Amino acid sequence: MAQEKVVLAYSGGLDTTAIIPWLKENYGYEVICCCIDCGQGEELDGLSERAKASGASKLYIEDIVDDFCDNYIVPCVQAGAIYENKYLLGTAMARPGIAAKLVEIARKEGAVAICHGATGKGNDQIRFELGIKALAPDIKVIAPWRSDKWKLQSRQDEIDYCKAHGINLPFSTDQSYSRDRNLWHISHEGLELEDPSQEPNYEHLLMLTTPPEKAPDKPEYVTMTFEKGVPTSVNGKKMKVSDIIKELNEIGGRNGVGIVDIVENRVVGMKSRGVYETPGGTILMEAHAQLEELCLDRATMEMKKEMGAKLAQVCYEGKWFTPLCDAIQAFVKSTQEYVTGEVKFKLYKGNIIKAGSTSPYSLYSESLASFTTGDLYDHHDAEGFITLWGLPLKVRAMKLAENQKTK
């Protein structure tokens, strides 16, 4: 009888390295590692040797950078999806794409299970597992940190466990920030950030972004174009979305843009504090919003804000592969039909400052908006609106006055 297989979501870190022998010892599975490349960069170096040295039969390194950008980032940018008014969903947006690729590899290998290294305290366990259940309800999910068989409670435990299984790897017990990196952002948790009363040690912490006070003293101008809500160029150079984000990361990073310190509400019920670096994403979100101000009518803008907040919650909670998420995206996509044009802004010490927007579909009319009398609008027309909109206020005021008289 052939040995059953498990696909392990493999980062190459100590946790998922220790999980390889643990899976073989406790389940007897053949372990197939799968590392999903969402733009982690040099973090992927040397993973193949490490995975095989730890007992994996093979390692897949799957590049989903463009899929991540086109099918997860762009819909969230178009929606203006920001969780709790601050978090640009860098980790949350990547998880459904990772789950989909894990399922694809599991199907290809005929695996009976998928394993992830997310802890029982975090959001990622929910995101991974809801994604896997939605796409492959027949595949078993193994979460070691929630298993009674998992006895490793510290980095030292994991290092000792690996050594006991003949695995000597360059990991130490030194404490550092817990980070998640992809093309969109880097998140930082741990150390002084665990105490909300403490200021972040930005000199030690930041990896993508210059602290604003150390950014250049001269502003940098940037021009972007969009077609139907999708970014198409930066400073006159046409690029695919992933390359636009890379370019904006460089530009925003040197100008101190996109640093967020937030205490957020996790899905599991606890609050957590983290610092997020999202230089390119912050610029892209702001540029898109700047163009929408010209192109969308008031009623659509109001409803879209509600849908954007809802999409942020749905994404954060791992409910991407749901009918609700599909419906929200369909609405948002319909609003982007005429979000086409050019935006210009300047970056200065962490700030994004408008410097002009144009669109062939702009709803702005200088004749209507001008303080001088234009051809399209008669000031007397306002009387009807004021009468109509002011009627409820007038009636309420009259009723209050009547009540005061009767007292």
Provide the sign of the torsion angle of the four alpha carbons 132, 137, 140, 141, taken in this order. positive
Q: Residue 119, annotated ligand binder?
A: yes
Residue 358 is assigned to a ligand binding site: no
Among candidate residues 37, 124, 242, 273, the one labeled active-site is 124
Active site annotation includes 148: no
Was 12 annotated as part of a binding site? yes
247 is in an annotated binding site: no
* Annotated binding-site residue? 187: yes
Tell whether residue 109 is among the known ligand binding residues.
no
276 sits in which H/E element: strand 271-277
Q: Which of 178, 233, 272, 362 is catalytic?
A: 178
322 assigned to a ligand binding site: no
Q: Are 152 and 164 in contact (CB under 8 A)?
A: no
326 catalytic per annotation: no
181 catalytic residue (yes or no): no
Ligand-binding annotation for 249, yes or no, is: no
Gap between the Cα atoms of 198 and 139, Å rounded = 44
Residue 318 near residue 127 (C-beta atoms within 8 A): yes
Residue among 340, 224, 330, 347 at smallest CA distance from 287: 224
Q: Is residue 321 within 8 Å of residue 130, measured between CB atoms?
A: yes
Q: Which residues pair with 30 in a beta bridge?
A: 5
The Cα 282–Cα 102 span in angstroms is 29
Q: Does 14 belong to an annotated binding site?
A: yes
Tell the residue number behind the tokens 């435990």, with chain if given.
157
Residue with the two structure tokens 């849908």: 307
Q: Is 57 a catalytic residue?
A: no
Task: Please say whether the dihedral angle defined by the alpha carbons of residues 103, 105, 106 and 110, taken in this order, is positive or negative.
Answer: positive
Consult the annotation and say whether 131 binds a ligand. no
Nearest alpha-carbon partner for 103 in 119, 120, 116, 90: 116
Question: Which listed residue (15, 37, 273, 359) is catalytic?
Answer: 15
Q: Which candidate in 50, 95, 181, 273 is catalytic? A: 95
17 is in an annotated binding site: yes
The rounded distance, in Å, linking the Cα atoms of 37 and 406 is: 73
Q: Is 123 annotated as a binding residue?
A: yes
Q: 16: annotated binding-site residue?
A: yes
Residue 37 marked ligand-binding: no
| Residue ranges at the known binding site for L-citrulline | 87, 123, 127, 178, 187, 264, 276
| Residue ranges at the known binding site for L-aspartate | 119, 123-124
Residues with a known catalytic role? 15, 95, 124, 178
| Residue ranges at the known binding site for ATP | 9-17, 117
| Residue ranges at the known binding site | 9-17, 87, 117, 119, 123-124, 127, 178, 187, 264, 276
